[in-house]
Each structure stands twice: as structure tokens, then as C-alpha cells.
Amino acid sequence: MTDFGLACPIPLSDYPTVTLAHGGGGRLMNHLIERMFMAAFRNPHLDRRHDGAVFETGGGRLAITTDSYVVRPLFFPGGDIGSLAVHGTVNDLAMCGARPLHLTVALILEEGLPMDTLWRVTQSLAEAARACEVSIVAGDTKVVDRGKGDGLYLNTSGIGILEHALDIRPASVRPGDVVLVSGDLGRHGMAVMAVRAGLEFESEIESDSAPLSRVVQALLRRNLEIHCLRDLTRGGLASALNEIAATARVGVTLDEAEVPVREDVRGACEVLGLDPLYVANEGRFVVFLPEREAEVALEILRAHEVCREARRVGFVHEDPQPPVTLLTTMGVHRVVDMLSGEQLPRIC
């Protein structure tokens, strides 16, 4: 029998109700996942703290992952909720080192949603799936009452196949690895926020939303010793590195001068009081691999349009305290903490 008498692991005195920050990708979301969901669902797959689970079948290894999308507005410069849902799930499979095969799509629609809006999102889902060479093989549709659903929410799950023997996950990261970032940071979060805040900048900031499976496959084909891959979604580069460093029990030092951020994105971040290191991307990832392979990996990355500005931004060392530091352009070391509180709600 289920024991409903267990105490809720999130101190009720601190947060008697869910806040937007519980979905923001920072410390509160981390607490919720670690203390409530991990505690309740505990198993070796979840213990790996990866973008998806990799499991053995009779004939090989498969990866599985799932994601929900509640972005507001549904359409934004550089993308929409449909393409975002496909890219997000395809990218999580790619970060497991898998070649994406099939997706499922569940739609939660609000009564009154214009049929034309639904059609545009459906076309976007289909087009993105075609571009990613995955098929949408199962789905579900639910409709909720007017006023109770904010238009449209999506959930996508995906399955992919691993065609190599590497163990790509946070715990495989070791001292001596370098950290490569695949391109400029912060565009997705700022593109959505600029629309929402009604901000006008000189040039329109477009989301970086893009599939990363092809470039990851190219890295894998070269037999590089990849230790970990992670897409830089909610919480941005800073949160991803903190999570990986904590799991691998290592330290990461970033070189601020090498972290690519476009001037217009930097400006928008300043207006909104945000740090680009924490802003979400939907087409960017980090690669951890031994230093001797950095140049070959960068060459492969840069040969793909989506990673043309790939760079080496940091290295891994033995000292796990603090997990992530930034060598600033002023030449001082600053701790890059896990984000506490909320930075950008409803951006994916």
C-alpha cells in the first residue's frame, strides 16, 4: 500500500506552494528534483543525472527522454513552441550520445485556441521532425476549459539509438578535460524575453533554437573520447557546469574572455539585469573531452553552421570547491554559483 504518511521533503515552511522559480532551472528547481522526485523515484538511471536514460536491450543501447513546453508567447523570433519541442527532445537524445529515431507528441489545448494557431504549430512540429530525421510515431490530445490552459502546452518524448561504446555522462568528466562551447550564448532566453517585455533593440534578437544531433553524430564518427555532452537550456552555461561538476566531483574554471556573447544579447541582458551565463539557449551545448582532442573536435564543430563559433572556454581540475569559477577579464577568479531564485520563467 502506498504510504501517504511520508513527510513532504520540501520544507513547507519555506515553500508551501509551487513558485515559478521551481521551474526556472536554478537552485529551487534542483531542490525540487533532488528532494522530491529523485527521492521518490530513485533508480540507477536517474542517479546518472543526465539528459535522458540509456538502457541496454538485447541488441544494443537505447536512450529515452521527455520534455514539456510552456513557452509564452507561442511564436517568437527564430522559432515557435512546435520546433522548440522537437529540437529540445532531439537535443537531449543527442546529449546522451544517441541518434534520435522516434518522438511522441502530447498536446494540451485550451478551449478557444484558434484552429489556425494549432495548424501552424502542427506544421512546425512536422517540419522540424523532418529536418531532424525523426518521425512522430505516437501522440495524445487533451482539451481543457477556457481560461485553464494558456492556449497550448506540448510534451514530447523521444527514443534514440547509441552506435558507439562511450559512456557519455557527467560522472565520466575528469581533471585534464577541456570544456568546449558550441556557439554564442543567451539568444533564446533574450529573444523570448524581448518579445514579452516589449523591448525594442536595434536588431531583433533571434532564438538559437536548432537541432544538434547531426553535429554530435559527426563528433562520434571521429571516435573522439567524449566524456560528457550537455545542452545549455534553462539555467544556461553556469547551471549546466555546476550540475556536471557536482556529479563528477571536479572543478571547472571558465575563461570569461573566451565565452562568446553577442553585443546585442549582452546589451539586452544588461537592460533586464540578467547574466548571460545563466540565460537559456536551445541550440547550444558543451563538450567535455581530453585536451589532446580539443582541436580536432573544434574543427568538426565549426564545420557545422550551427556551431561555427565553437570555442574552448574552460578546463576541468581536481579541486571541487567551489565547483565552477570564472577567470574574469580583470584577471580575478569569481565563483559561478548555481542560480538561486528565478531568472526567466516560461521560456521553454
Catalog residues that contact Mg ion under the rule CB under 5 A: 51, 92, 231
CA distance 22 to 28: 5
Q: Which is nearer to Mg ion, 38 or 118 (CB)?
A: 38
H-only helix segments in 52-207: 81-95, 115-131, 187-197
Are the beta carbons of 325 and 335 closer than 8 angstroms? yes
Cβ-proximal residues to 202 (8 Å cutoff; 6+ apart), any chain: 264
Q: Which is nearer to Mg ion, 55 or 119 (CB)?
A: 55
User: Reduced to 3 states, what is the DSSP secondary structure of residue 223?
Assistant: coil
Q: Which is nearer to Mg ion, 281 or 325 (CB)?
A: 281
Q: Which is nearer to Mg ion, 231 or 293 (CB)?
A: 231
CA distance 286 to 311: 10
Are the beta carbons of 123 and 103 closer than 8 angstroms? no
Cell of 259: 565565452
Q: Which is nearer to Mg ion, 256 or 282 (CB)?
A: 282
Taking the complex as a whole, how short is the minimal distance between the CB of residue 32 and Mg ion, in angstroms?
Answer: 17
Are the beta carbons of 145 and 100 closer than 8 angstroms? no
Taking the complex as a whole, how short is the minimal distance between the CB of residue 50 and Mg ion, in angstroms?
Answer: 9
H-only helix segments in the chain: 27-31, 39-41, 44-47, 81-95, 115-131, 187-197, 213-221, 236-248, 263-272, 294-302
Are the beta carbons of 183 and 284 closer than 8 angstroms? yes
Q: Which is nearer to Mg ion, 66 or 117 (CB)?
A: 66
Instruction: Cell 536491450: give the residue.
Output: 57
Q: Which is nearer to Mg ion, 51 or 177 (CB)?
A: 51
Q: Which is nearer to Mg ion, 236 or 323 (CB)?
A: 236
User: Reduced to 3 states, what is the DSSP secondary structure of residue 161?
Assistant: strand
Q: Which residue is nearest to Mg ion (CB)?
A: 51
Taking the complex as a whole, how short is the minimal distance between the CB of residue 156 and Mg ion, in angstroms?
Answer: 13
Q: Which is nearer to Mg ion, 113 or 212 (CB)?
A: 212
Taking the complex as a whole, how short is the minimal distance between the CB of residue 236 and Mg ion, in angstroms?
Answer: 12
Taking the complex as a whole, how short is the minimal distance between the CB of residue 348 and Mg ion, in angstroms?
Answer: 10
Taking the complex as a whole, how short is the minimal distance between the CB of residue 19 and Mg ion, in angstroms?
Answer: 22
- The single-letter DSSP state of residue 234 is T
Q: For residue 203, give Cα distances in angstroms to 157, 226, 246, 330.
A: 35, 37, 38, 29
Taking the complex as a whole, how short is the minimal distance between the CB of residue 1 and Mg ion, in angstroms?
Answer: 36
Taking the complex as a whole, how short is the minimal distance between the CB of residue 180 and Mg ion, in angstroms?
Answer: 17
Judge if the upstream peptide bond of residue 73 is cis by omega within 30 degrees of 0. Answer: yes
Taking the complex as a whole, how short is the minimal distance between the CB of residue 189 and Mg ion, in angstroms?
Answer: 15
